[in-house]
Structure 1
Amino acid sequence: MSHKPDQDSTGFKDDAPTPPDAIASGVDEDMVETNRRVFAGWQWLLFAGLAIAYSSFHLISLNIYPMETWSFRIVHIAGALILGYGLYAGARFADQEHHASAPWLGWVSYALLIPAIYSLIQVFFMQQTLSGGALRIDPQVETWHFGFPLIAATVAAIGISWFYRQARHRFTPADLVLMVCALASAGYLLVAYNTDIRMSTGTSFAPPGITWAAIAGSLLILELTRRVAGLALVVISAIFLLYVFAGPYLPGFLGYPGLSMNRFFSQVYTDAGILGPTTAVSSTYIILFIIFAAFLQASKVGDYFVNFAFATAGRARGGPAKVSIFASGLMGMINGTSAGNVVSTGSLTIPLMKKVGYPARSAGAIEAAASTGGQIMPPIMGAGAFIMAEITGIPYTEIALAAVIPAILYFASVYFMVDFEAARKGMRGMRKDEIPLFSKLVKQVYLFTPIIILIFALFMGYSVIRAGTLATASAAVVSWFSPNKMGIRSILTALQLAGTMAIQIIAVCACAGLIVGVISLTGVGARFSSLLLGLAGVSQLLALVFAMCISILLGMGMPTTAAYAVAASVVAPGLINIGIQPLVAHFFVFYFAVVSAITPPVALASYAAAGISGANAMQTSVTSFKIGLAAFIVPFMFYYSPAMLMEGSWMQILRVGVTATLGIVLLAGMVQAWFFGPVKIWQRVIMLIGAIFMIYGGIYTDIAGLVIGAALFLMQRKAHGNHASVKPTA
């Protein structure tokens, strides 16, 4: 009996592969860093409870029972320190090659609990004394019974934690000491700042207790930043701190009269430094949007976003690369970290890009560039928009609108770079049976509702806090109509995830606040402004190039929020002093702080992508720099053509937006040596000239650029026609 093929009810063969229901899964999974502990049992319950309580504290304080501003920010940082030292180890975990540390390190750590707890008890006694009517605490008591024990325990425990290795599921006593020290430091500041003592900060009359608490708090912030964000920001912070005391001995414009240790540290842990703009934003907007992102993750919306991107763009040539642009841009906008987004979405998109023909370095570079672009995509902009609003006083809605055209230009650049490379190498898109059916996914388009509600609420005039809270609540409600319904357990999981996700960004913002404090208290920012003013006297363009280099240098190795906060404190005031509008100046430094993530030689997003693709890290960095080239050109156009930031009439804005986008297409063709077909060297030179003319934004340059673009278009169409392609490269 012969075998017959399977047939459907119509009698036709049913041998076509069935499209998958989903291609992405696990995008929303919590990424466990290499130095993060994984607890079980009562320890897991304890830290899960702390994380839930920490997230809930912010929701309640921001929406129902507000706290006094400085107290709220102190608790915000202290909570992150306690959670951070509980979850993140200071050294590699013990394994077969690196066995657990000697027992005596544990006994020394337990011994350090004595001075740490003693200093915490002294905070209670001091609070009792001040409540009893005393105006001050005896300086000897503050120094000998609080300051010295606290500093000794903090310094010794940090040193021990660098060498203390335990299994991944075990907690170390050295970190317990640091958690107690964080409580003692924050406790003293809460006591002192809620009395008249607060008025003495930054003067010679400031009590020494504030200095000791601020020194311990600064050390704890620096060490936690090292654990969660690497050494780059810590080294930069250490250089700035060194400048405080070495500045009086430096020659030229770097010199300044100097500050004593008491005057500096008694003021740096106020709203002039650590409790200033960066912590103001992290304790309100950033933590709120981290909770929002955690709710989206808990309801598996990230998986849907990526699957929707595959269904929409997967069949285009070089499909996975275009999916990466869409999905990574969207997810990067929400989660606020380029490298983190590369790890979450890149683990799916990078292997698929390699599968359709992209070299490993190109696959990693595309993902890095797309994830970095998420930081400049309105309305959230990776929290950058909120920091800019806090620093400049410009309304958030104005900043979000101003970011629209630059974001379009950036993603258009990445898209056409990807498209022209795919055409040049003859790459295919994904087959119909390899991607989810659009008709199925479109039925769940309501999952975009939380983001739509957020945008509408913001532009209807709701406060950022109220809009973010509404969006978070809507994420839970919308999930009830999806396969991943959020019940009490899922909501608690989201709050726990948010508390954990927040640690890195809060530590980074507090550390950036330390640098901002040095800049404001020493006046180095004003002297940098004078230097820019001198350069502007020679050439405005030279001053802008110098500002670009400093912004990228300050941002290297740092997350977006910290990079922008520091650059805004050092560079932006100088640009404003040479006559540039505040919005233009801050967007200029913001863009370069963001693209430092793909700028060689220290490109965090590119290095993260290279780890997934298996390509050389430096090659990936150079390629991502090339793909994101528009981000290095467009900021200069903010100065020459403010219409790019919605400054001007609608006709000007429309003309500049359209011609700049066409210029970006020419720029991408020039870089990839492809338009409708291969482009010769002399044509690439003409394309570059036409691109610059149209990106520049002047009426006459736009006309000249359009003429060049039209001529090249006709020339390429005539030479290569509509179906130009080349054979795939080996």
Structure 2
Amino acid sequence: MSHNANHQSDDSTAVTSPETIADGVDEDMVEANRRLFTGWPLWVVTALAIAYSLFHLISLNIYPLETWTYRIIHIAGALVLGYGLYAGTAFAESERETSPGWLKGASLALLLPAAYALVQVFFMYQTLGGGAMRIDPGVETFHFGLPLMAASAGGIVLSWFYRQTRGRLSPPDLALAVCALASAGYLILVYGTNIRMTTGTSFAPPGITWAAIAGSLLILELTRRVAGLALVVIAAVFLGYVFIGPYLPGFLSYPGLSLQRFFSQVYTDIGILGPTTAVSSTYIILFIIFAAFLQASKVGDYFVNFAFAAAGRARGGPAKVSIFASGLMGMINGTSAGNVVSTGSLTIPLMKKVGYPARSAGAIEAAASTGGQIMPPIMGAGAFIMAEITGIPYTEIAIAAIIPAALYFLSVYCMVDFEAARKGMRGMRKEEIPQFRRLIKQVYLFAPIVILIVALFMGYSVIRAGTLATASAAVVSWISPNKMGITAILRALQLAGTMAIQIIAVCACAGIIVGVISLTGVGARFSSLLLGLAGFSQLLALLFAMCISILLGMGMPTTAAYAVAASVVAPGLVDLGIDPLIAHFFVFYFAVVSAITPPVALASYAAAGISGDNAMGTSMASFKIGLAAFIVPFMFFYSPAMLMEGSLLQVLRVGVTATLGIVLLSGMVQAWFFGPVKVWQRLAMLVGAVCMIYGGLYTDVIGLALGAGLFIMQRRHRDDGNAVTAG
């Protein structure tokens, strides 16, 4: 009777299976401090965002600008949009709670020096255009520099206290947007002449210093608004080091730099306009536009629905869906915490529904989303920064990332599967998930990503491949239910302009830190410290490099975390004799996993906010689930074949043994292999895992022997249990 009932239930529910389960994964997230305009201000901001995205597409593909000019406009556009959209303090709930009249008056007064500085840039342009070799220093200081500094510093401070309703722009932020234009305008003006050659010398005009100080302040404040205080505090510490470094003892001491010498160089390609902005202004902005087109055509929803249809019915199904969907989405959007919010809002409640505790559900989503940052071919834009810094071809980096990423996601999958088996969890029922045969008909929605990968490996430049993939996303949408017309394309461009603000601010802020490291030489002194440690033990030096990379990455988005760690730590590892690719992958992995490393684990905190669990408890659980990411970088060092450095046979051997080692490690953590394991068996699994992860021939044999012995014991124990039950 029960069999018939179940059979009838399946027949009836087959008809009622949902078309989709994910809806709104692609929706633009609105941060708590983002303004929501209506009427003409909305039209103005929308037009600016669309123009900003189009500027990049045109400059990258059709009409290239001079490099420094292009990067200055890239940053200035993000500052103007950022100050227009993001408030410096909490919004007022009503007009009665808005700032008092005297504060409004003081804020409006700031517009005068800001506008005056901007007008002076126009006059200076006329002066230089008339044949003058340089501007009078008095004019630069008293008519440009001081008004610019007064408006910038005053605007930042007043914006912390100026409360406005959510739909209105505050005068301090308008003043800051004008200051961004004045600073950028001056720098474009002087860098377009021979004056550019004087940066870093006593001949540099004072205007460069004033524009750079104001520009740096504006970048730091916008970073605080869009990415929190962590990166700003680290940047402030590094800036403080420039001026207190000469008074510090030991290896931290350096000869010192004057205010003029430092700031006349920091807003050049040594610092703010250097590698981080080089990447954000080319590859990152292009892939943000690509991601925006995918969002506008609802491809993100399709990815998640496809994952549910493919893996939803397996034991602990939603957790496995989370691994698949978050890996795909995280690879594209380049921020672990942002990815947790977009996909986790769907997967975390469903994981709880099938039996995962809130802590485990949040931890799995955080670990999976963080893994997206190491997933080739895009790697959350990290691959492009690595290519820019090291000079190693992008395709070589993407290929090298395949085995480590596969090991990480295998580890998370095994952790999830073993926990589901240990707790006897079910998958989702047939009627709870979309039908696979329906979704497979829309598999063409994967075409833009396939086109991107194929174009890259056919030898197209990253810019050409990204542009082609973006165009294909629009074309593919025309045969899907979510067709992109002119309105949808403009919406995608507007979304891209908005999405880009955070990452551009973060990259520019990281550029300040990179500039300090370059100009003070602190990176070289850190390298000598690592070399000293390596004199005792290379493993000790690697552990120290790991800790510094995680520490520098805490609370920071992936791109900034890696850029800073690559400047401080990677040169020291290369000096140890480690191959540059291995050294940079080592640093990159630990910069990425800082998102799930207590005590400051942004991805885990975001997941805890959705799951309702304790933030620190979730970060500890996500650290455990993502444990492989803390071990895989050491595997690069001991087995370079892990990064495709070696013969095919070496790569295969290391890949297979490391895979088995990762499975044993996951089983040890979850106390489950093919059944429950005892304490001594867990110790044996740990030894076997370490032996196979180490990668030596003899250690591989020991690890395989231990793994095979445990497998046979578990099977025999299970067979004996089945025989007793049958008897």
Please give the TM-score of this superposition, normalised by the length of structure 2.
0.97
Matches of 2:12 and 2:571 in 1, distance apart?
68
Is the partner of 1:407 in helix, strand or coil? helix
Matched with 2:698 is 700
Matches of 1:491 and 1:288 in 2, distance apart?
15
Aligned 8 A contact 1:277 1:390 in 2: yes
Give the unaligned 5+ runs of structure 2: 1-7, 723-727
> Which structure 2 residues correspond to residues 549-588 of structure 1 after superposition, within 5 A?
549-588=547-586
Matched with 1:727 is none
RMSD (CA atoms): 1.4
Deviation at 1:103, TM superposition (A): 2.1
Q: Is 1:311 equivalent to 2:309 in the alignment?
A: yes
- Alignment match of 2:219 (pick from 208, 218, 221): 221
Deviation at 1:97, TM superposition (A): 12
Aligned 8 A contact 2:117 2:143 in 1: yes
Aligned 8 A contact 1:676 1:721 in 2: no
Residue type of the alignment partner of 1:242: G
Deviation at 1:720, TM superposition (A): 2.0
Is the partner of 2:31 in helix, strand or coil? coil
Matched with 1:145 is 143
Is the partner of 2:410 in helix, strand or coil? helix
Matches of 1:253 and 1:15 in 2, distance apart?
70
> Which structure 2 residues correspond to residues 615-654 of structure 1 after superposition, within 5 A?
615-654=613-652
Q: Is 1:257 equivalent to 2:255 in the alignment?
A: yes
Matches of 2:455 and 2:176 in 1, distance apart?
41
Matched with 1:599 is 597
Distance change (3 Å), C-alpha of 1:270 and 1:314? same
Is the partner of 1:344 in helix, strand or coil? helix
Please give the per-residue CA displacement for 1:46-66, whole angstroms capped at 9, x wherever unaligned: 000000000000000000000
Matched with 1:127 is 125
Deviation at 1:100, TM superposition (A): 1.2
Deviation at 1:698, TM superposition (A): 1.2
Q: Is 1:449 equivalent to 2:459 in the alignment?
A: no
Is the partner of 1:717 in helix, strand or coil? helix
Please give the per-residue CA displacement for 1:138-159, whole angstroms capped at 9, x wherever unaligned: 1111000000000001000100
- Alignment match of 2:588 (pick from 576, 587, 590): 590
Matched with 2:347 is 349
Matches of 1:295 and 1:172 in 2, distance apart?
31
Matched with 1:520 is 518
Is the partner of 1:709 in helix, strand or coil? helix
Matched with 1:115 is 113
Residue type of the alignment partner of 2:485: G
Matches of 1:22 and 1:247 in 2, distance apart?
58
Matched with 1:57 is 55
Q: Is 1:293 equivalent to 2:291 in the alignment?
A: yes
Structure 1 stretch 504-513 or stretch 123-132: which is displaced more? 123-132
Residue type of the alignment partner of 2:665: L
Matched with 2:424 is 426
Distance change (3 Å), C-alpha of 1:686 and 1:561? same
Distance change (3 Å), C-alpha of 1:723 and 1:148? farther
Distance change (3 Å), C-alpha of 1:109 and 1:722? farther
Matched with 2:536 is 538
Distance change (3 Å), C-alpha of 1:288 and 1:722? farther
Residue type of the alignment partner of 2:67: T
Aligned 8 A contact 1:89 1:227 in 2: yes
Matches of 2:610 and 2:109 in 1, distance apart?
43
Structure 1 stretch 108-117 or stretch 74-83: which is displaced more? 108-117
- Alignment match of 2:468 (pick from 443, 467, 470): 470
Aligned 8 A contact 2:14 2:430 in 1: no
Matches of 2:101 and 2:605 in 1, distance apart?
37
Distance change (3 Å), C-alpha of 1:653 and 1:572? same
Residue type of the alignment partner of 1:577: D
Q: Is 1:21 equivalent to 2:25 in the alignment?
A: no
Deviation at 1:31, TM superposition (A): 0.3
Distance change (3 Å), C-alpha of 1:503 and 1:98? farther
Deviation at 1:14, TM superposition (A): 4.4
Aligned 8 A contact 2:13 2:431 in 1: no
Matches of 1:13 and 1:581 in 2, distance apart?
59
Distance change (3 Å), C-alpha of 1:15 and 1:609? closer
> Which structure 2 residues correspond to residues 24-43 of structure 1 after superposition, within 5 A?
24-43=22-41
Please give the per-residue CA displacement for 1:638-690, whole angstroms capped at 9, x wherever unaligned: 11100000000001001101110111000000000001111000000000000
Is the partner of 1:637 in helix, strand or coil? helix
Is the partner of 1:357 in helix, strand or coil? coil
Is the partner of 1:175 in helix, strand or coil? helix
Matched with 2:89 is 91
Deviation at 1:696, TM superposition (A): 1.0
Aligned 8 A contact 1:375 1:560 in 2: yes
Matched with 2:177 is 179
Distance change (3 Å), C-alpha of 1:560 and 1:15? closer
Aligned 8 A contact 1:556 1:603 in 2: yes
Is the partner of 1:205 in helix, strand or coil? coil
Residue type of the alignment partner of 2:136: D
Deviation at 1:136, TM superposition (A): 1.0
Aligned 8 A contact 1:329 1:373 in 2: yes
Matches of 1:307 and 1:402 in 2, distance apart?
30
Deviation at 1:360, TM superposition (A): 0.4
Deviation at 1:702, TM superposition (A): 1.1
Matches of 2:631 and 2:317 in 1, distance apart?
27
Distance change (3 Å), C-alpha of 1:635 and 1:13? closer
Please give the TM-score of this superposition, normalised by the length of structure 1.
0.97
> Which structure 2 residues correspond to residues 649-660 of structure 1 after superposition, within 5 A?
649-660=647-658
Please give the per-residue CA displacement for 1:316-363, whole angstroms capped at 9, x wherever unaligned: 000000000000000000000000000000000000000001010100
Matches of 1:554 and 1:474 in 2, distance apart?
38
- Alignment match of 2:237 (pick from 219, 236, 239): 239
Matches of 1:719 and 1:26 in 2, distance apart?
47
Matched with 2:76 is 78
Please give the per-residue CA displacement for 1:202-250, whole angstroms capped at 9, x wherever unaligned: 1111000000000000000000000000000000000000000000000
Matches of 2:548 and 2:181 in 1, distance apart?
37
Matches of 1:235 and 1:570 in 2, distance apart?
17
The percent of aligned pairs where both chains have the same amino acid is 82
Aligned 8 A contact 2:375 2:401 in 1: yes
- Alignment match of 1:339 (pick from 332, 337, 340): 337
Matches of 1:472 and 1:613 in 2, distance apart?
34
Aligned 8 A contact 1:311 1:436 in 2: yes
Structure 1 stretch 15-24 or stretch 299-308: which is displaced more? 15-24
Please give the per-residue CA displacement for 1:86-127, whole angstroms capped at 9, x wherever unaligned: 000000011269921112212111111111100101101111
Matches of 2:103 and 2:513 in 1, distance apart?
33
Distance change (3 Å), C-alpha of 1:676 and 1:174? same
Deviation at 1:33, TM superposition (A): 0.4
> Which structure 2 residues correspond to residues 263-282 of structure 1 after superposition, within 5 A?
263-282=261-280
Residue type of the alignment partner of 2:231: L
Distance change (3 Å), C-alpha of 1:656 and 1:112? same
Is the partner of 1:29 in helix, strand or coil? coil
Is the partner of 2:609 in helix, strand or coil? helix
- Alignment match of 1:613 (pick from 591, 594, 611): 611
Is the partner of 1:348 in helix, strand or coil? helix
Residue type of the alignment partner of 2:343: T
> Which structure 2 residues correspond to residues 395-434 of structure 1 after superposition, within 5 A?
395-434=393-432
Give the aligned length: 715
Matched with 2:725 is none
Structure 1 stretch 309-318 or stretch 700-709: which is displaced more? 700-709
Matches of 1:607 and 1:98 in 2, distance apart?
34
Residue type of the alignment partner of 1:416: C
Matched with 2:369 is 371
